Amino acid sequence: MWESFLEFCSWFFVTGDPLIYGAMVSIALTMVAIVFVLTKYKKWGWLWREWLTTVDHKKIGIMYLIASLLMLFRGGVDAILMRVQLAFPNLEFLHSDHYNAIFTTHGTIMILFMAMPMMFGLFNMVVPLQLGARDVAFPFLNAVSFWLFMFGAMLFNLSFVIGGSPDAGWLSYPPLSQNEFSPGPGQNFWIWGIQISGIGSLATGINFIVTILKMRAPGMKLMKMPMFSWSVFSSCIMIILAFPILTVTIALLYLDRFAGAHFFTMDGGGNPMMYLNLIWMWGHPEVYIVVVPAFGIFSEVVATFAKKKLFGYKSMVAAVMGIAILSFFTWAHHFFTMGTSASVIAFFAITTMLIAIPTGVKVFNWLFTMYRGKISFKQPMMWTIAFIPCFVVGGATGVMLSVAPADYQYHNSYFLIAHFHQVLIGGVVFGYLAGIYYWWPKLFGFKLDEKLGAWGFWLWNIGFYVCFMPQYALGFMGMTRRYYTYGWDYGWESLNLVSTVGAFLMGAGFVFQVWQILYSIKHGERDTTGDPWNGRTLEWSIPSPAPFYNFAVVPQVKETDDFWRVKEEKANGTYKEEPVHLEPIHMPKNSGLPFIMSVFWFIAGFGFVWEWVWMAAIGMIGVFLTMWARSFQYDTDYYVPVDEVRRTEASLGRVY
């Protein structure tokens, strides 16, 4: 009995690697510590009432943010481990299998479990406030989205201590990802972690589209909507059109693995290339899904810190909406070298080049907004200014890659690695960091410390160029991605060492940022006005942190940057005070169902991963029952009485 138990454990848990034993111990200790603290301070009820059951978009946004920073940490550790392994030739820090697992989880986590939730966090934190709305269109669904993401991410991350990490690359191309070459549950963890969180992403896409179309404050016509909300709209359109493709593609891959189907197999009429075709139909829009909101953030930040209206608002709207459509017509450029007809390659090369045009338009708009503005160099603006040259270079190397004959040289080389890190770090990460610094005071009521932030900023930026510029050269020198080691005779050692140093610099930048957050919780400059940056849009018209119902009175909008108009009119005395009439506010009730439903999804996912049909069945029945229960709930909302609104506002220093 004991023997077979031990045998089960050694099969169930990942064994044999000291790094992973270390991780297991630290995970166990962290869990014990969390349980201990919650129990000691009697915080379980608080956790359940205030966070696990919340449907408040701001709290959900904060939870997304915390989760994404944790994932950034894990993905970053993966990156550092890889860079250490590659620092010197013939190093034996990681063996090849472990290296494969790490580059797979690094890529998957950074895109799907770091960039996506950080983006959703920003959507949640900002969009309803910017639109003058009290919540998103479907608050309950919003909570479902978050918990699906969270449990999907947990399922994925579990793989490295239980069952083994996936190791077939971040997009898991078959035939490598098929049973034959990737036996065991690792690949299934990849499929189900993404599948579960992907359903959540899809729901968020629907939710924010309806929010933007239907919940804007009276008077805010679409063409008066702040730029960030436009970029969210564009991103959500891509989400609803692209994510179903991902759902189908990885479901088919799972059917190949689980049911012996022949979609992407080498035999039985399957075709691995069909997988590439499908996954990139999602994958290419996906990179625009994460980068377009960053463009929106830069637009807000540039206008605020240059104290000027955004230059070329209409062309900016056209550019982000154009990208939403164009991004669906470039997917084949990811597999030019796979072999298809010349006309296909020519078509996709041209569409890829075309997509650089709207992006170029935006860069000029930002530059012209800054032109002759009185720029104040606060943290959000620093990241924005750092972004522009970085993204321009990243975009230019992208155009180089789009030239199909040249792509045969660059394909899968470190040139490509450098390119996409430059657009994803320089564009997405810099953008989201700018956004987090910008809207942090609105969510938490204090600013993040400038000095520690400057350390973080410079370490990140210098580290970035030190890390990735050598990789362009390494690509030209013939180094291809996913090599776990190389010999002295290749001549790659010095550039690789430099690159590793850069990775550590970026890691140090991240440490400074964590320090900055912890320091600022106590010592950060408090925001008492609700408008710490002299902002232009509606979110700055309410107190910081925003009350749970956001707006005591729904604002009447007349212009783009309406809050700026109000401030100007007040300054020159033309502002007409309108009589304020408080009314009861309609709010959704908290619910535990999203959490419970996601737990069942997790159970089902775990069952699917191990191909334990009984467990998957239990989970799916649970999911079904929670949905059934929700359908029978009619008492889902309530009204906040006027007195309570008045009291809350008074406590925030606003008298009605």
Q: What is the contact surface with other proteins in residues (CB under 8 A)?
A: 137-138, 141, 202, 205-207, 209-210, 213-215, 237, 240-241, 243-245, 247-249, 251-252, 255-256, 259-263, 265, 267-271, 273-274, 277-278, 281, 325, 328-329, 331-332, 338-341, 344, 583-584, 586, 624, 628, 631-632, 634, 639
Give φ, ψ of 446 to 5 degrees.
-145, 160
Q: Where are the alpha helices (DSSP H) in 477-492?
A: none
Nearer to other proteins, 82 or 191 (CB): 191
Q: How far apart are CA 411 and CA 334, in angstroms?
A: 9
Write down the least CB distance from residue 86 to other proteins, Å. Answer: 34
Write down the least CB distance from residue 442 to other proteins, Å. Answer: 25
Write down the least CB distance from residue 13 to other proteins, Å. Answer: 31
Nearer to other proteins, 141 or 294 (CB): 141
Amino acid occupying residue 269: G
Please list, in sequence order, all residues whose beta carbon lies within 8 angstroms of the beta carbon of residue 620, skipping any fewer than 6 positions away: 600, 604
Write down the least CB distance from residue 268 to other proteins, Å. Answer: 5
Nearer to other proteins, 142 or 165 (CB): 142
Give φ, ψ of 86 to 5 degrees.
-95, 0
Nearer to other proteins, 257 or 378 (CB): 257
Nearer to other proteins, 335 or 414 (CB): 335
Is residue 427 within 8 A of residue 394, CB to CB? The reply is: yes
Nearer to other proteins, 191 or 417 (CB): 191
- The 3-state DSSP class for residue 398 equals helix
Write down the least CB distance from residue 343 to other proteins, Å. Answer: 8
Nearer to other proteins, 285 or 555 (CB): 285
Degrees (nearest 5) of the Cα angle 341, 347, 353?
135
Q: Where are the alpha helices (DSSP H) in 355-479?
A: 356-370, 379-402, 404-410, 414-423, 430-444, 450-476
* Residue whose C-alpha is closest to residue 74's, from 190, 173, 156: 156
Q: How far apart are CA 121 and CA 108, in angstroms?
A: 18
User: Distance of CA 186 to CAs 47, 177, 300, 424, 651, Å?
Assistant: 32, 10, 42, 26, 52
Write down the least CB distance from residue 496 to other proteins, Å. Answer: 36
Write down the least CB distance from residue 374 to other proteins, Å. Answer: 39
Write down the least CB distance from residue 200 to other proteins, Å. Answer: 13
Nearer to other proteins, 360 or 584 (CB): 584
Write down the least CB distance from residue 612 to other proteins, Å. Answer: 20
Write down the least CB distance from residue 138 to other proteins, Å. Answer: 6
Is residue 301 within 8 A of residue 388, CB to CB? The reply is: no
Is residue 256 within 8 A of residue 187, CB to CB? The reply is: no
Q: How far apart are CA 226 and CA 562, in angstroms?
A: 9
Is residue 381 within 8 A of residue 453, CB to CB? The reply is: no
Please list, in sequence order, all residues whose beta carbon lies within 8 angstroms of the beta carbon of residue 90, skipping any fewer than 6 positions away: 485, 486, 487, 488
Amino acid occupying residue 87: A
Nearer to other proteins, 311 or 331 (CB): 331
Nearer to other proteins, 271 or 534 (CB): 271
